[in-house]
Structure 1
Amino acid sequence: MLLNVVGVSCKRRELIREIQAQKLAQALEVDELEIGFGLNQELGLKRPGDTRWSSHYKTLLNVMDLFSTIFKVLMIIGKDGSKSEDKCKAQGIFYSMEDQDIINATRLVSLTKCQLQKMREDGWEIHLNKVISFCNIHGIVVPDLEACYIPHGRSKRFVQQVTYRHHFRIDVFIEIIDLLLQEFNNRFDEVNMELIRCMACFNPRDGFSSFDKESVLKLATFYPSDFSSIDLRTLECQLDIFMEDMKRDNDFQNLQDISSLSMNLVETKRDVAYPLVFLLIKLILILPVATASVERVFSGMTFVKNKLRNRIGDQPLNDCLVTFIEKEMFLQVSDDDIVHRFEEMKTRRKIN
């Protein structure tokens, strides 16, 4: 649907190019991107092939890189599209891309890890039979699995003497699954999964069907500086009244995400009535932004702390990072204001 709506016409593809070119020009202006041969190539939403899975992967990578640009294009089509059908489709895609069901996401992660582990333990023979069947159909020679493995293009002296069966099972099949499991564990460890599960308990979808009081209280314990032992007891009392209030009020029955819940709480002044509950919701909403901000800082350090500034101190590094990361705000400050601020400081030499 995304490809049909956004990439259906030359005009919309050109709109993607223009928006992406503007972003690229701004990034190059502030030295956020490196310049060189083959870098910063133009990206587009190429339609993937039905039988070439690598094309699907490349399309997904382009969607990730063009995510903010696609959002802008969908908003333009949704507001100013020439056809009402395109407007409805653009709005539907926009909201479906924005919506993130945390509960289903965590469940899918756990199920995927279980399936990979199950495949590692019991899936070798099934996979091997499929591969042999495929090779027989297409006339591909299958080596004797009990024969000694002979590597292509490498000397036998540097390869362990094993059979083809051992090589394909241990060095290929199991090793790839272990890499996938390790990547899942690095990105979704038990602490992060527990945190996400607790956060999902505030999801207002389907009349707060996923709400769990104990999980919400456990989430509050992750913020000891914001919730003391007395605050936790108060929060426990507030939660009972809060949920009863939410279930009785029709304005809170059709909400789809936590951000909508927080806005409704402010509009109805319930953020004042349930201050600790609202504080916890704010912390939930801030967490993804705070995480992204930290990653952004570490990405910025590769540009700020380069070879020329390799021995820079902590305070100068911090100052340089602030101006680099918040460059959009600092670019609005004129040079005259900076000079005037510098002159108003303690005694310093200045050019008259």
Structure 2
Amino acid sequence: MAVVLRYVDNNGHIIERFLGIQHVRDTTASSLKAAIEALFSKHGLSISRLRGQGYDGASNMRGEFNGLKALILNSNPSAYYVHCFAHKLQLTLVAVTKKHNEVRDVFNFISSIINIVGASCKRMKVIREKQYARIIKGLENGEISSGQGLNQEISLRRYGDTHWGSHYVTIIRLLAMFSSVLDVLETIREDEMNSEQRTEAIVLTNILESFNFVFMLHCLRRILAVTNEFSQALQRKDHDIENAMSLLKTSNERFKMMRENDWESLLEEVSSFCIKHDIKILNMDDEYKLHGRSSTKLLLCVAYLNSSDSFSAFNKEKLIRLALFYPSEFSIVDLMVLGDQLDTYIIDLRGDDEFSGIEVATATVEIVFSAMHIVKSRLRNRMGDKWMNDSLVVYIEKDIFDKIDNEAIMKRCLSHDMYTKQTGMMIPYVEITYVYGKVSVIGA
């Protein structure tokens, strides 16, 4: 565990110093507190003189009752806890990202790209060689400049929900290595023996070369550039809460200016990138059609699952279209293999005698509502929920209750009365009712 001490010197200056590292048996709050006390004791310090403590948002640190901050507050109520500002900003960004479907999809695709491109040392070597060759070509053509600290070797970087600014760095590097990534995906498509990875490489290539994906990358780069500068400022040793609030206000102003004035420049930047990488540019003047899915289309697709008449309504293309209504259930790879699975499915079921005479009922719920008007008539208008529920079960499932002999019902009722009289204890309530002339039992 690393311990950093912030204090005010005799001149009133805020000083922040690394105090040292301390071995801990585990990362439970009690172990961390014991380690801090041991380190303080070694340097002649006391927790009783603490006036603040700051950590990230991990539960073992900021837990309300058993976290490290709670244990220290129990010993010293003046050691007020402050959640790390940079971590709070990162957690906010992650929370907003997960609420926006398009943004969440972009980062999921980025994660898949990084996984497949960085899956082996061979692929990492290929991408380094491709990137090196492009830098040499750019220097020769005068497209990029040379100098100290420029054109350093870079690699794709994974983003992390708790890593400051990692989403921004991930997008920057993907844009910088865009052509090299496409080259590696092409190599996987051509040389990879694993069919699943070949399919994934094809899908990811199509996504990378789409205008929508490129537009989202550039848009997010601009947005995250503002939050990244804010995050960098929050990590400075000399910042305070007042300064942080001022920086927040500045960031909000930048977002407002971006929203009002940056559309044209963003579109120009995306278009230039697409031209460079041979990506088709969308015409922004075309009429936009909302890709909604009406319930009618959904029901029409469902109808092709009807098993009546040996699945005569079966239609593979319509069922694949049905799967598109549920993107969270069917991945891109799942959709690709679904057609082959459906071919096997229909042959298997049509050859099964158990499905030859099947009939499908879809109106059971409507039947229940209709039965309510019969069971809960004007004469029984005040019947309770349980009584109505039991009556409906008997009425709607009468094919089951028709199999119960009347004699058995009578005996059950008589035994109920005798048991109640002898013991004074109630057993589950049973009532006799008539359903279309048939004596049935209600209650359980």
TM range (shorter): 0.3 to 0.5
The structure whose residues are more often helix, as a share, is 1
- TM-score (norm: length of structure 1): 0.36
Higher relative contact order (CA 8 A, sep 6+): 1
User: Which one has a bigger Cα radius of gyration?
Assistant: 2
- TM-score (norm: length of structure 2): 0.29
The structure whose residues are more often strand, as a share, is 2
